[in-house]
Amino acid sequence: MSFLSEIQRRRTFGIISHPDAGKTTLTEKLLLFGGAIQEAGAVKSNKIKKGATSDFMEIERQRGISVATSVLAFEYNGIKINILDTPGHKDFAEDTFRTLTAVDSVIVVIDVAKGVEEQTEKLVEVCRMRNIPMIVFINKLDREGKDAFDLLDEVEQKLGLTVTPLSFPIGMGYDFKGIYNIWEKNVNLFSGDSRKDIEETIEVSDLNSSELNTLLGDIAANQLREDIELTDGIYPSFDKDAYLNGDLQPVFFGSALNNFGVRELLDCFVDIAPKPRAKQSEERLVKPDENKFTGFVFKIHANMDPNHRDRLAFIKIVSGEFKRNTPYLHVRNKKKLKFSSPNAFFAEKKQIVDISYPGDIVGLHDTGNFKIGDTLTEGEIINYKGIPSFSPEHFRYINNADPMKAKQLYKGIDQLMDEGVAQLFTLEMNGRKVIGTVGALQYEVIQYRLEHEYGAKCTYENLNVHKACWVDPEDEKNTEFAEFKRVKQRYLAKDKSGQLVFLADSVFSLQMTQQKYPSITFHLTSEFE
């Protein structure tokens, strides 16, 4: 197959949802369609069960599973599909944000009873800002839930999307009869008894045919006709370009657990979802069909095996072919590196591959060369944009609890921060180190890993910080900035890349500081124009 057709046939996407909406179940059903796994239950949920936050084994289990499910690839009708795992747990939200820089589109899963939940809102906002094409899947139709129109409304209001349904439920919960596939114009009936399989697919090109009454009964058939007429009137008709530009989001309904409505979603997905897209770097726009290889690191994972302390760096290939045993330039380190055993991912296994294409993810063994956001090329200086850090929610001083192991501690902290586990801030005033995290869980992960992987011990001390704000002065030389630095010295720190950060201790102090120093902008993410 030619290089160009290899690109054309790739679809790389992520499934995002609030925990429990059915992401794992849907992933598994998609893999079953691709024949990549043989039975349900093969894909392990990577969520942390409630109440397990202090259980180290649970953290380890979580890490192990998230390596296994980081990338799940399969083939369907000649299309190579790469699903990138996005942890739903809010403590790992940053991991998910970073993974979203490596997807070309997403599927958003929503629970029909719970509607739009908090994590969904946050993740969709990131996708919307980046114009990532999104398809919405409303799940668990076999249960009682919200009215379909109310839900579509909620999705529009809360998520700020413009939706158009491409399938529509016939009944719900106990009365769930099936789905009308607007995209293909047919009706799929749900087997009421076993509630497990699709009973039959019936082509209904004319919604007014009496056959529909025979199939569904008069009431349900008339209701469906009314519903579809209403959707025609309210929602814009599907437009592929609008979807690809992030301006229109098609919606599907179904029940992942019962594998109902999933094939409709998958068939439409392979038809409309974008193939690998061009990516903006600081230097220029890079197109996937360029001959020379470029790619970037969006995730780093420590090896679970204590005998192999190396890490796995996940690279998204943006352009060209990535070949085994070929020297590539590590742009930040200005070093050439060769990889003898790049891993590709297939279903839940990984295997060594000789060649990978744009859209694919390769896992490279790393002994500490990479950090998140690093770029690899054939020689050109390219730095891919768009892996910002967000202000952490929790802040604690980190102290060395074993003076003999200071070197190990700093090496450990350094590497864990490169992996993106948390963020390190060094106070300007006294050089003390502060760890900022999205969730409290990360502190336990860090402490545990420092001890088990680096032989170092740490303790934490609380620090009252509301938000970390990256400081962006209009003019670094003006007196206002000098005054700010003098007055606020106690609250200033440098992040790991040396950028100046203001650690505001409350909403109020942030507002006051903003008012007092109008020529300085305070950003809640590390990347700004």
Binding site residue list: 17-24, 85-89, 139-142
Q: Is position 48 an interface residue for ligand G4P (rule: CB under 6 A)? A: no
Q: Which is nearer to ligand G4P, 111 or 495 (CB)?
A: 111
- Please say whether the beta carbons of 59 and 448 come within 8 A: yes
> Contact with ligand G4P (CB under 6 A): which of 124, 248, 257, 409?
257
Looking at the DSSP bridge assignments, the partners of residue 492 are: 502
Q: Which is nearer to ligand G4P, 43 or 152 (CB)?
A: 43
Q: Closest distance between ligand G4P and the C-beta of residue 428, in Å?
A: 41
Q: Is position 513 an interface residue for ligand G4P (rule: CB under 6 A)? A: no
Distances (CA, A) of 31 to 37, 99, 478: 6, 20, 59
Q: Closest distance between ligand G4P and the C-beta of residue 177, in Å?
A: 15
Q: Residue 214: which residues within 8 A CB-CB, separation 6 or more? A: none
The number of residues in the chain equals 529
Give the H/E segment covering residue 445: helix 441-454
**DSSP one-letter string for 117-186:** -HHHHHHHHHHHHTT--EEEEEE-TTS----HHHHHHHHHHHH---EEESEEEES-GGG--EEEETTTTE
Q: Is position 24 an interface residue for ligand G4P (rule: CB under 6 A)? A: yes
Q: Is position 259 an interface residue for ligand G4P (rule: CB under 6 A)? A: no
Q: Which residues are annotated as a binding site for GTP?
A: 17-24, 85-89, 139-142
Q: What is the DSSP letter of 221?
A: H
Q: Which is nearer to ligand G4P, 248 or 262 (CB)?
A: 262
Q: Is position 171 an interface residue for ligand G4P (rule: CB under 6 A)? A: no
Q: Which is nearer to ligand G4P, 36 or 471 (CB)?
A: 36
Q: Closest distance between ligand G4P and the C-beta of residue 28, in Å?
A: 8
Q: Closest distance between ligand G4P and the C-beta of residue 22, in Å?
A: 3
Read off the amino acid at residue 209: S
Q: Is position 99 an interface residue for ligand G4P (rule: CB under 6 A)? A: no
In a 3-state reduction of DSSP, which class is residue 40? coil
Q: Which is nearer to ligand G4P, 25 or 249 (CB)?
A: 25
113, 120, 159: which is closest to 15 by C-alpha? 120
- Please say whether the beta carbons of 379 and 320 come within 8 A: no
Q: Which is nearer to ligand G4P, 51 or 306 (CB)?
A: 51
- Please say whether the beta carbons of 143 and 203 come within 8 A: no
Q: Which is nearer to ligand G4P, 89 or 405 (CB)?
A: 89
Q: Which window, 13-21, 161-169, 357-365, 438-446, contacts ligand G4P (CB under 6 A)?
A: 13-21
Q: Is position 25 an interface residue for ligand G4P (rule: CB under 6 A)? A: yes
Handedness of CA 281, 283, 288, 294 (dihedral sign): negative
- Please say whether the beta carbons of 109 and 68 come within 8 A: no
Q: Is position 184 an interface residue for ligand G4P (rule: CB under 6 A)? A: no
Q: Which window, 202-210, 253-261, 271-279, 295-303, contacts ligand G4P (CB under 6 A)?
A: 253-261
- Please say whether the beta carbons of 125 and 106 come within 8 A: no
Query: How far is residue 47's CA from residue 392's CA, in Å, rounded to a whole number?
Result: 21
Of residues 113 through 142, those in contact with ligand G4P by CB under 6 A are 139-140, 142
> Contact with ligand G4P (CB under 6 A): which of 8, 19, 56, 267?
19
> Contact with ligand G4P (CB under 6 A): which of 11, 14, 16, 17?
17
Looking at the DSSP bridge assignments, the partners of residue 255 are: 260
> Contact with ligand G4P (CB under 6 A): which of 68, 134, 256, 503?
256
Q: Is position 261 an interface residue for ligand G4P (rule: CB under 6 A)? A: no
Give the H/E segment covering residue 398: strand 394-400
**Site for ligand G4P (CB under 6 A): how many residues?**
19
Lookup: tokens for 320: 């060209």
Would you tell me which residues interact with ligand G4P (CB under 6 A)? 17, 19-25, 45, 47, 88, 139-140, 142-143, 255-258
